[in-house]
Amino acid sequence: MTRVHDMGGRFGDGPVVPEAEEVKFHADWHPRALAIVLASGSLGTWNIDVSRHARECLAPKDYTAFSYYEKWMGGLAALLVQTGVLTRDELAGLGDAQISDLATKKLTADQVAGVLARGGPTERDSDVAPQFAIGDAVMTRAIAENTMVAGGHTRLPSYAAKATGRILRYHGTHVLPDSNAHGLGEAPEPLYAVIFPAAELWQHPEHPRDEIVLDLWQSYLEAV
């Protein structure tokens, strides 16, 4: 079984509402929430896969009710406590907050441009050789779950489980989120863009020639 964030293909969500390009944020606190999450991330106590998993682990009723930046804050609160950056009492505003040992890593205004410009590239050298070539037919895992940790992070959506497609592009070897989200190492391996006919994924595709492409790691795939 999957988690609440894995919603690709779900029915019942209603219309998509377009928005003017000038609109950046929808409430005064949104930019602050964005900035707090990014600044906290630069302390280096978690990586992007850990932080995505923290958001995915919100209770389904919260995940559904929360706006985007509320999910970010919910994830941040979990990360701060789980990694020991804050105690639960500190988060609750109880007691005297002392300066953290991590304060030396605090992001300063003059570092912001450099940190954002560097980002977090995920391409790594790997001992795992590419097993597939462009055009090869592949099938995805039958169960879209993390194979190492029950309820763990994975990037195979459930709608694309046990589906047959073909390799469209090779992206090089990249950090494996299923491992990196759980302190099990970066475990880089080949990453591919895999293309599926819409009819392979949906009972009622809109058009016979429509296609869906997903970026999938080699260990999600087997040869057909």
Partner 1 sequence: MPHDHHDHDHPHTLLPPDPALRVKALETILTEKGLIHPAALDAIIDTYEHKIGPRNGARVVARAWSDPEFLQALRDNATKILDEMGYSGRQGEHMVVVENTAQTHNMVVCTLCSCYPWPLLGIPPGWYKSDAYRARAVREPRAVLADFGVALPEGTAVRVWDSTAEIRYLVLPMRPEGSEGLGEEALMELVTRDSMIGTGLAQAPV
Contact positions with partner 1 (CB under 8 A) in 45-104: 48, 52-55, 57-59, 62, 64, 67-70, 73-74, 76-78, 80-82, 85-86, 88, 90-93, 97-100, 102-103
Out of 1, 19, 129, 223, point to the residue binding partner 1 (CB under 8 A): 19
Q: Which residues contact 64 (CB under 8 A, 6 or more apart)?
A: 4
Closer residue to partner 1, CB minimum distance, 88 or 162: 88
DSSP for residue 46: S
Applying the rule CB under 8 A, the residues between 113 and 142 that interact with partner 1 are 113, 115-123
Nearer to partner 1 (CB atom), residue 99 or residue 129: 99
Nearest to 73 by CA among 108, 109, 38, 26: 38
DSSP code, position 143? S
What lies within 8 Å, CB to CB, of 170 at 6+ separation is: 130, 132, 134, 190, 191, 192
**Least distance in Å: CB of 123 to partner 1?**
7
- Which residues have CB under 8 Å from 206's CB, separation 6+? 198
Query: In the complex, what is the shortest distance from the CB of residue 194 to partner 1, in angstroms, rounded to a whole number?
Result: 10
**Alpha-carbon torsion, ordered 107, 71, 173, 165, to 10 deg:** -160
Candidate segments 125-133, 134-142, 204-212, binder of partner 1 by CB under 8 A:
204-212
Nearer to partner 1, 74 or 141 (CB): 74
Whole-number minimum distance, CB 64 to partner 1, in Å?
A: 8
Distance CA 127, CA 144 (A): 25
CB of 154 to partner 1, least distance (A): 9
Q: Are the C-beta atoms of 139 and 224 separated by less than 8 Å?
A: yes
Which is nearer to partner 1, 142 or 184 (by Cβ)? Answer: 184
**Which residue in the set 46, 138, 155, 178 belongs to the binding site for partner 1 (CB under 8 A)?**
155
Nearest distance from C-beta of residue 129 to partner 1, angstroms: 19
